[in-house]
């Protein structure tokens, strides 16, 4: 029987995402000047205020206030009427030194035996329903907000947009689990104040359907056939949305973990990513399991897969590795047998994950909005500045866990 499935996304101006981006900017700056930094940084944003808290072990000193202001400015909170302005908001730092009790479980005389920074389980997921092996509803939800942000920055076709926004896409699937059409699209976007509320709400709905949607169809032609005349659009369904961002709703690091991963497909272990250095397996092992899942599906082992790994704090070797192919495996093996082969292909000890995916580089700011998974790997040059110091320029690879660099290994191991 046909069924519906829904995923959501939030924009870079959403208060929780503002917090994520500040936390990850701090991670990048610490790693740029001390690659061995251990950091767990949380951010809270509210009306006119930013509060930073967390634990750090690093040889470098940062101007955390200036870093936070630069992130807020880049997002677009640059006007006093937003009640959250990069130049005038208060910033309080309560960051302190990492607990020696935690650190002793991670650092080892031999780096290869580096222990996991915490216990827990992490999941990676992949499906062949999209070109980037991501769930389609989430992919479209992200795309809507990326293009909405582009329209806001262009300030040409639509001139009233503000940074905060959310989207949601509902897809209809056929009996054989194939997406056949978009059933509903929800977009709530913050906007400038106006006098005639009814007229402006009608204009926002008209603009998004007539300007945003055609841009999505043109940029993602592989999904154009899913759009139809029977889509139910809910555009700013609550009505007026002038008060938004951290003034409208307090934001915290790590509160959008489903948006960050697979939009409700597969599973999630519960651990957030932003603000954590790669010794925290909540982050590094989630990237590593996505890397495994994507390469397995790309190699043709299965159509869909969920990979789970688990750890004990301070122990290098995972306590378990498990895969679920949802009955789509193309080899005559059980999922348990596939798990054993996977374990031999991918070394899931924390140090080897860090090395394989080049995670001790300043690569995390780009992950903090529009999803950590399904992104395009690329090499970029970034510049960082210490207080009263010379700028440091580094070249890094982004989204290494999205590379299809183990497809041949998988095909060889499974005889594909």
Residue numbering of the annotated binding site: 14, 16, 42, 55, 98, 164-166, 240-241, 249, 255-256, 272, 276, 280
Tell me the binding residues for K(+): 42
Burial 46-85 (b: 16+ CB within 10 A, else e): beeebbbbbbbbbeeebebeebbbebbeebbbeeeebbbb
Question: In whole angstroms, what is the distance from residue 207 CA to residue 222 CA?
Answer: 23
Q: Which helix (H) or strand (E) holds 121?
A: strand 120-127
Burial class (CB in 10 A: 0-12, 13-18, 19+), 110: exposed
Question: In whole angstroms, what is the distance from residue 211 CA to residue 157 CA?
Answer: 8
Tell me which residue of 387, 396, 413, 398 sits closest to 301, measured CA to CA: 413
Tell me the binding residues for ATP: 14, 164-166, 240-241, 249, 255-256, 272, 276
Question: In whole angstroms, what is the distance from residue 294 CA to residue 219 CA?
Answer: 23
Contact residues for 76 (Cβ-Cβ < 8 A; gap 6+):
12, 13, 152, 153, 162, 163
Kindly state the DSSP code that residue 209 receives in the 8-state scheme. Answer: I
For 245-349, strand residue ranges (E) read 251-252, 304-311, 320-324
Tell me the binding residues for Mg(2+): 16
Tell me the binding residues for L-methionine: 55, 98, 249, 280
- Tokens found for residue 372: 């950590």
């Amino acid at each position: 029987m046909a069924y519906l499935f829904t995923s959501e996304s939030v924009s870079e101006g959403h208060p929780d995402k503002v917090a994520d981006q500040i936390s990850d900017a701090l991670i990048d700056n610490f790693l740029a000047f001390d690659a061995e930094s251990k950091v767990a940084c949380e951010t809270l944003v509210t009306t006119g205020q930013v509060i930073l808290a967390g634990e750090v072990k690093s040889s470098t000193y940062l101007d955390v206030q200036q870093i936070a202001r630069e992130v807020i400015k880049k997002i677009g909170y640059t006007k006093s009427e937003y009640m959250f302005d990069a130049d005038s908001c208060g910033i309080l730092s309560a960051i302190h030194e990492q607990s020696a009790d935690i650190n002793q479980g991670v650092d080892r005389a031999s780096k290869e035996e580096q222990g996991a920074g915490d216990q827990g389980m992490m999941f990676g997921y992949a499906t062949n329903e999209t070109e980037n092996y991501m769930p389609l509803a989430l992919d479209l939800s992200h795309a809507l907000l990326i293009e909405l942000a582009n329209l806001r920055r262009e300030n040409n076709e639509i001139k009233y947009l503000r940074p905060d926004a959310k989207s949601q896409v509902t897809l209809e699937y056929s009996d054989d689990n194939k997406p056949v059409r978009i059933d509903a699209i929800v977009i709530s976007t913050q906007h400038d104040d106006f006098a005639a509320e009814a007229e402006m709400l009608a204009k926002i709905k008209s603009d998004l359907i007539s300007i945003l949607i055609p841009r999505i169809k043109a940029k993602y032609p592989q999904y154009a056939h899913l759009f139809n005349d029977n889509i139910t659009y809910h555009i700013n369904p609550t009505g007026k949305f002038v008060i938004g961002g951290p003034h409208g709703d307090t934001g915290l690091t790590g509160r959008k973990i489903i948006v960050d991963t697979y939009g409700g497909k597969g599973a999630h272990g519960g651990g957030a990513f932003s603000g954590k250095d790669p010794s925290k397996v909540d982050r590094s092992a989630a990237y590593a399991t996505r890397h495994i899942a994507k390469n397995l599906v790309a190699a043709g082992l299965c159509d869909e897969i969920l990979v789970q790994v688990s750890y004990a704090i301070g122990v290098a070797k995972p306590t378990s590795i498990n895969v679920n192919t949802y009955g789509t495996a193309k080899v005559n093996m059980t999922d348990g047998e596939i798990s054993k082969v996977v374990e031999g292909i991918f070394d899931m000890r924390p140090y080897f994950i860090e090395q394989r995916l080049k995670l001790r580089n300043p690569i995390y700011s780009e992950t903090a909005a529009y999803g950590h998974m399904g992104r395009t790997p690329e090499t970029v040059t970034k510049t960082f500045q210490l207080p009263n110091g010379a700028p440091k320029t580094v070249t890094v690879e982004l989204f290494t866990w999205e590379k299809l660099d183990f497809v041949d290994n998988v095909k060889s191991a499974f005889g594909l």
